[in-house]
Amino acid sequence: MKTLHASNSISAWHRERAERLHRICNSIASRSSRGDRKRKIIQWFVWRYKSRCHKCEPSRPLKITRSAIERALRIWKRGGQVAAVLLPQYKPRRSVFTAPMLIRFVDFIARQPEPNLKTAWEKFAARGGNFGCGRRSGKPLKISYGQLQYNFPGAIFREIRAQHKAIETAQATLDETRFKAIADITSRFPARPPRRRIKRETDFQI
């Protein structure tokens, strides 16, 4: 049996199910070649796995039904009789984002601190502009926060937010030092320079 090498994006229970269906398909093909009736073999596997759950996730039922086995058998035969073809096939969706749009968003969150990524995106999307989906004639950007979460690393926002906090802390420390210096100067020096005394010449006229 060939080992299944799945992408990290595929969950463990999907991989386990694909491996199990692969073994079932192998067994059906082997026993059918010896003259056993396919329908009877499938029914036996349905009975065998009835009420069973995944080993990697015991709370999730296997659901090995007749239709599931028949469908897997068709895919398995067309796909070269390997377990990988029984994994979910996800078609990549066309992205609503562009590089310039997300670069502008990075510049936006770098210029002004926001409490969280959601607030930052809502403010950014509400601005007028002429780029992106639904952004014609200055209309708000019609891209949800959920779509942003899927495409924009939250770690970038957290790092930028941390830098903003560092700047705020440094500014507070600078202000405190400035106030101390002003207080010290005020206590030691007068507000105005002293008046210059003008010496009067002696007048001998009577």
**Domain assignment present for 106:** yes
Lowest mean pLDDT among 71-80, 106-115, 144-153, 196-205: 196-205
Q: Within a 10 A sphere around the Cβ of 166, how many other Cβ atoms? A: 10
CA atoms of 32 and 69, how far apart (whole Å): 14
| Helix pair 154-188, 99-111: axis angle to 10 deg | 30
Give me the number of domains the chain comprises. 2
At residue 43, the pLDDT reads 93
**Domain assignment present for 193:** no
Max CA distance (Å), the chain? 151
**Domain assignment present for 57:** yes
Whether 45 and 107 share a structural domain: no
* pLDDT, tens only, 159-184: 999 999 999 999 999 999 999 998 88
Tokens of 164: 């903003």
At residue 132, the pLDDT reads 47
Q: Which residues contact 126 (CB under 8 A, 6 or more apart)?
A: 140, 141
Percent of the chain whose predicted confidence (pLDDT) is above 90:
39
Whether 124 and 179 share a structural domain: yes
**Domain assignment present for 197:** no
Q: Within a 10 A sphere around the Cβ of 1, how many other Cβ atoms? A: 9
DSSP state of 4: P
Whether 23 and 81 share a structural domain: yes
pTM attached to this predicted model? 0.46
Whether 53 and 118 share a structural domain: no
Domain-ending residue, one of 27, 62, 86: 86
Whether 162 and 184 share a structural domain: yes
Q: Within a 10 A sphere around the Cβ of 167, how many other Cβ atoms? A: 11
User: Do residues 89 and 7 touch, judged by C-beta distance below 8 A?
Assistant: no
**Domain assignment present for 203:** no
**Domain assignment present for 3:** no
Alpha helices in 79-153 (DSSP H): 99-111, 117-126, 145-151
Whether 74 and 104 share a structural domain: no
Whether 34 and 111 share a structural domain: no
* pLDDT, tens only, 52-106: 899 998 988 988 999 999 999 999 988 888 888 888 876 656 778 888 888 899 9
CA atoms of 54 and 27, how far apart (whole Å): 20
- Which residues are paired to 61 by β-bridges? 53
Whether 125 and 180 share a structural domain: yes
User: Do residues 120 and 112 touch, judged by C-beta distance below 8 A?
Assistant: no
Whether 122 and 167 share a structural domain: yes
User: Do residues 62 and 52 touch, judged by C-beta distance below 8 A?
Assistant: yes
For residue 30, what are the domain limits? 12-86
**Domain assignment present for 175:** yes
**Domain assignment present for 198:** no
At residue 194, the pLDDT reads 78
